[in-house]
Chain A
Amino acid sequence: LFKCLLFFQKYSKCDCEVTATSRHYVDRLFDPDPQKVLQGVIDMKNAVIGNNKQKANLIVLGAVPRLLYLLQQSSSSLELRTECAVVLGSLAMGTENNIKSLVDCHIIPALLQGLLCPELIFIEVCLRCLRTVFISPVTPVQLLYTDPTVIPHLMSLLSRSQRTQEYITQIFSHCCKTPEHQTVLFNHGAIQNIAPLLISPSYKVRMQALKCFSVLAYENTQVSMTLVNVLVDGELLSQVFVRMMQRDQPIEMQLTAAKCLTYMCRAGAIRTDDSCVVLKTLPCLVRMCSKEHLLEERVEGAETLAYLMEPDVELQRIASTTDHLVAMLADYFKYPSSVSAITDIKRLDHDLKHAHELRQAAFKLYASLGSNDEDIRKKITETENMMDRIVSGLSESSIKVRLAAVRCLHSLSRSVQQLRTSFHDHAVWRPLMKLLQNAPDEVLVMASSTLCNLLLEFSPSKEPILESGVIELLCSLTQSDSPALRVNGIWALMNMAFQAEQKVKVEIVRSLGTEQLFRLLSDPDSNVLMKTLGLLRNLLSTRPHIDQIMSSHGKQIMQAVTLILEAEHSIEVKEQTLCILANIADGNTAKELIMTNDDMLQKIKYYMGHSNVKLQLAATFCISNLIWNEEDGSQERQDKLREMGFVDILHKLTQASDPNLCDRAKTAMQQYLA
């Protein structure tokens, strides 16, 4: 209200005259003569068309509640009510502030109520106004779903006229934002009611119906599965969409039809090798990326294409050879172009506005293209200035661009060759590290995942990353609330510890702290557990390292191992744990920690007789290390274990059907024979 007052004051100062006439318009709405009121509304209608200032004035002066009152009054004539709705619709066409004011005045329930009127003309103007209100980003879409009778009623109005069809489908396509919305619309027969509109004689109706299907099918298996079986005038819906993608159709229609098919394909309703995907949807989307289209279309085309082929390497291969797509995307980075800066400001403004969007869309598409195939990755990195672009993308101000750039980098980092060459040449680790310092979780997940790959032992970037003090950072990631970040943190540490120097291992243990290490060993996420065990295993490799670590943390580690072996865990986890035990058994002094722990020996014995070969193998490996001949005290250990009945088990295992297990057991037996 205060705001309104300020607004009012501002206007009353600078625009007394306008306000005075505006006031007159509002006053006439209160005339006792209904005929004069009608004339007043009609005059108001003519006054506000295309005049934003006038619209704002009328709203401030309180015209809206009065108009709504007249609209709802059953004593008002149909003509008056219709004109009121027209004026309200006109007011809604103004600024976002206008829409906010209208929504605050509860225009939506009033108009929805108006739809119950039998007169088509009145229904149409109400729908038109509702449409304008609902397509505004400031209107909460939930308002469409508060009254459960609204959706079924809108469905029933679809048959009334082309106008009702256009407005209602447009409302649906803007108000279907969540899976819940999809379900509500689906359950009220949206598909059956809207499908026939795809062959409406009106382009607008066809287009809005198509948009409806694209929002309904997005990530929705139920809708998509239903859609593939729908017939429109005897033709399968997918074929109708294919026709809408024909190259002489308007771009908007081609693009939206391609989106529908993309969503249906991703939801599993259409196979990725179906010709309508391979020969129609994919080429259509590639076309949308070409220079001749509007920047918005190119962004949408690239994003949809990235989404379409993300899980399918064959589609990635096809796309990578279609119409020079990889090279074509390089153009996305050339905005604003030097030409646009010189020629006109408007163009520059337009380019600037879309530059971020273009870049992030290109990065996304590159990420999707390169996610599986080594040749495609090579092609991408060889594109002009590609690595430089990624590097600068990592430090852009727009989060969307940063995220897409790091996704792209992540996709490319799956290539051993690229890690060894271009990644090192361009020192991508530097901006990546910077990105990790202070970023939102989604960026962090991608960045840390990329870092995992950069820390692989063959990566030349590993050294400089280590020197940059990454360990602290990764350790802090393992304390994150997000399981994905915990996994990535511990995964990176695991990679880092692989065949690492003693001092690195010590640094990891010191920095992580045993407490945190054991907390991770009881992590609810099995991935985190697996990677933590992997880290332990990597830490406990080569004899001096094993002895060193076990001498300082032996007690806790043995405890943790016991706990895991006793608890309910997957075979993989148990196998990994037994491998750690086998590594411990390889140490000089560390061996004793097992030999003196009868409980642990019993466990090993148990796993040697387990039904799973992998576990048997790991346990046998452990025993084999304990009884290894050439080491000090091997005789005593052999004796003790013979007493405990291990020889009998080994003997039995030499008869095992699995050749690996059989070999392992024989080798172990030889230690006794020697």
Chain B
Amino acid sequence: MAELGAGSLSLGDPAFNYQEHELNERLKRLYPAVNEEETPLPRSWSPKDKYSYIGLSQNNLRVHYKGHGKNHKDAASVRATHPIPAACGIYYFEVKIVSKGRDGYMGIGLSAQGVNMNRLPGWDKHSYGYHGDDGHSFCSSGTGQPYGPTFTTGDVIGCCVNLINNTCFYTKNGISLGVAFTDLPPNLYPTVGLQTPGEIVDANFGQQPFVFDIEDYMSEWRAKIHGMIARFPIGERLGEWQSVLQNMVSSYLVHHGYCATATAFARATETIIQEEQTSIKNRQRIQKLVLAGRVGEAIDATQHLYPGLLEHNPNLLFMLKCRQFVEMVNGTDSEVRCLTIRSPKSQDSYPGSPSLSPRHGASNTHLHTGADSPTCSNGVTPPNKSKSHSGTGSSSIKYPSVSSSASSSTSSSPSSVNYSESNSSDSTKSQPHSANSTQETSLSLNFRRNQTHVTRSSNHDSEMEIEAEHYTNGVVEGSSARIMNGTYKHEEILQPDDNSIDEGCTNGRQLCGGNQAATERMIHFGRELQALNEQLGREYGKNATHKKMLQDAFSLLAYSDPWNCPVGQQLDPTQRESLCSALNSAILESQNLPKQPPLMLALGQATECVQLMARVRSGSCSFARVDNFLH
């Protein structure tokens, strides 16, 4: 709250803090679609936007009249600090009449910015009010219409703005009085006006529970809008509709390289896959490498399979190399790995169908560097960690060991259990680990829901079901509100490497796995990277993003424990995902295939549309949220 009047409560007052907390909680619950950074909600009367005969107190919630009150020329109004955001869908506030004063000429209503404050609400253009002395409603006019009962000391008058159909109704002591105004303009401010001495009213913008059950009213509209969406007529295009959906699912599977699933789906739905089987598998293999942190191998494979691709995408190549450097620090890149432990299995040890889906944003044309927090689940926190863990364990058993030739000892044992074992042996690593496991458990909670979703569209393809278990369509709640799709278990990606990972882990997390030769190799690589940066700088001009990326990567070396340093975030395996999807998109683009799956485009489109609705003041957006429909 920016403006605080000379109220009896001060910021430090616990009662005030409690009220403030209550207010925030209630507003969040009532208007979840409102982005307060863009469109703040009214929380008090504005000490700036009022006539001089108006006095404010009690945190700018109490309004009293301090003029002469001789005639209507002495009327005075005050507006709230902010207009009502359209994204509220349905907005509501209440005013309690503390005292009707001399004559009780009080008006409660709405007005636009700039309407004369030396008037009662309702008398002027873009001003609307319900007056206590006669119970009339005033719709931008000096003469009122009979509307409701009169109101006086002790009454609580509520004003509800329906931004879906642009109407307004009032309530008196919790009873709806029916529609007062229609065709309301946008951006109205809650407004009260007083006219005679002694008149005092208190506003409730959500500080206290409302007398009227506004949430019940909202629930009716939510049900209406959901019903409208569910019953949206598709008319003659019913068959077309189905094939569109099938293509969307199919292209999504292909995009992420779920080869077997995609084939099965195509068979069941009799659709055609655009891309060659081998091409899908190639992409899948490269993605797998990136996600496993073997960026060097990924670069080699890309150059081998798609010659010229990286040469045409120097930025992408640079990012890959940067990541490779980070992975060297991590000790996961094959160039340092081969020096520390046994050489990794060759690529063909990967499952024929990838089980990993990168997470990426709705608009992932560029990389999200460092901005992502590792908790990318869709906000589900496991109620019981151990329980969900066992759930994960059982699903890991089903993990496609089908084609993994290397899974002799570990495939049947859930990787998450492995992880937590090592976790307990080394307390210094506990933090990132537990973060991972939280994420993982929340994932497992989503499995079942996701599973039914996919199963339905795949005609109960059992193969599909198994794979689907490992992914989820989650949405990350965040300021950027990007849609995240799928995340994976970072532990499992490493699993095919026999028991090497166990060793790697128990070895402790040391720079480049603690191997001197590897460290030297890393330093050397760092120099190459530096050179590449300079070369790129010469060819394409200085690139600030590159510089920053490089700096961040090199900074890792400045700390004794890079995993627990300010830039340690980079080492988190989830950071590989954005790069992975960028590479995947680049490959697809080079093959003249869409760089984004249509499903994600549609989802992003829907989300954007809903946000756009809020901006163009279509109130129904608050009840048509995309995440309501993602199960």
Contacts and interface: CB of A to CB of B under 8 A. Distances in A.
Interface of A: 246-248, 278-280, 282-283, 318, 321-324, 328
Interface string B199-215: 00000000000000100
Nearest to A382: B146
Nearest to B211: A279
Interface string B221-233: 0110000000000
B559 interface: no
B380 interface: no
B219 interface: yes
Nearest to B172: A321
Pick the 7 closest A-B CB pairs, nearest first. Answer: A247-B220, A324-B178, A248-B223, A323-B178, A248-B219, A321-B149, A279-B174
Contact of A247 (B174, B179, B217): B217
Contacts of A247: 216-217, 219-220, 223
Contact of B148 (A248, A278, A321): A321
A322 B216 contact: no
B177 interface: yes
A322 B175 contact: yes
Nearest to A290: B178
A323 B174 contact: no
Nearest to B212: A279
B315 interface: no
Secondary structure at the B interface, as helix, strand, loop or mixed, is mixed
A387 B136 CA distance: 25
Interface in B573-608: none
B587 to A, nearest CB: 48
Contacts of B220: 247-248
Contacts of B175: 278-279, 282-283, 318, 321-322
Interface in B162-185: 169, 172, 174-179
8 contacts: A247-B216, A247-B217, A282-B175, A321-B172, A322-B178, A323-B178, A324-B177, A328-B178
Given A246-B219, A248-B219, A248-B222, A322 B177 contact: yes
A318 B175 CA distance: 8
Contacts of A321: 148-149, 172, 175, 177
Interface of B: 148-149, 169, 172, 174-179, 213, 216-217, 219-220, 222-223
A398 to B, nearest CB: 30
A37 B361 CA distance: 66
A323 B176 contact: yes
A464 B172 CA distance: 45
A213 to B, nearest CB: 22
Contact of A323 (B149, B177, B213, B216): B177
Contacts of A282: 175
A247 B214 CA distance: 11
Contacts of B174: 278-279
A580 B216 CA distance: 63
Nearest to A250: B223
B219 A322 contact: no
Nearest to A280: B213
Contacts of A248: 219-220, 222-223
B364 to A, nearest CB: 37
B535 to A, nearest CB: 63
A111 to B, nearest CB: 39
Given A246-B216, A321-B149, A283 B223 contact: no
A253 to B, nearest CB: 12
With most chain B CB atoms within 10 A of its CB, the pick from A247, A278, A280, A324 is: A247
B609 to A, nearest CB: 24
Contacts of B172: 321
Nearest to B177: A321
A283 B149 CA distance: 16
With most chain B CB atoms within 10 A of its CB, the pick from A278, A318, A324 is: A324
With most chain A CB atoms within 10 A of its CB, the pick from B148, B172, B216, B219 is: B216
B219 A283 contact: no
Nearest to A323: B178
A247 B217 CA distance: 6
Contacts of B216: 246-247
A309 to B, nearest CB: 13
Contacts of B213: 279-280
A322 B174 CA distance: 10
A360 B614 CA distance: 45
A318 to B, nearest CB: 6
Contacts of A283: 175-176
A379 to B, nearest CB: 9
Nearest to B169: A323
A35 B213 CA distance: 63
Nearest to B222: A248
Nearest to B220: A247
With most chain A CB atoms within 10 A of its CB, the pick from B149, B169, B178, B220 is: B178
A545 B148 CA distance: 53
Contacts of B148: 321
A455 B177 CA distance: 37
A445 to B, nearest CB: 34
Nearest to B226: A248
Contacts of A324: 177-179
A322 B213 CA distance: 14
Contacts of B217: 247
B177 to A, nearest CB: 6
Nearest to A245: B216
Contacts of A328: 178
Given A248-B219, A321-B175, 4 more contacts: A278-B174, A282-B175, A283-B176, A323-B177
Nearest to A319: B175
A158 to B, nearest CB: 31
A324 B223 CA distance: 24
Contacts of A318: 175
A432 B179 CA distance: 37
Contacts of A280: 213
Contacts of A246: 216, 219
With most chain A CB atoms within 10 A of its CB, the pick from B148, B169, B213, B222 is: B213
Contacts of B149: 321
B284 to A, nearest CB: 43
A425 B353 CA distance: 89
A323 B180 CA distance: 10
Contacts of B176: 283, 322-323
A248 B217 CA distance: 8
Nearest to B217: A247
A318 B220 CA distance: 22
A58 to B, nearest CB: 38
B540 to A, nearest CB: 57
B618 to A, nearest CB: 21
Contacts of A279: 174-175, 213
A201 to B, nearest CB: 18
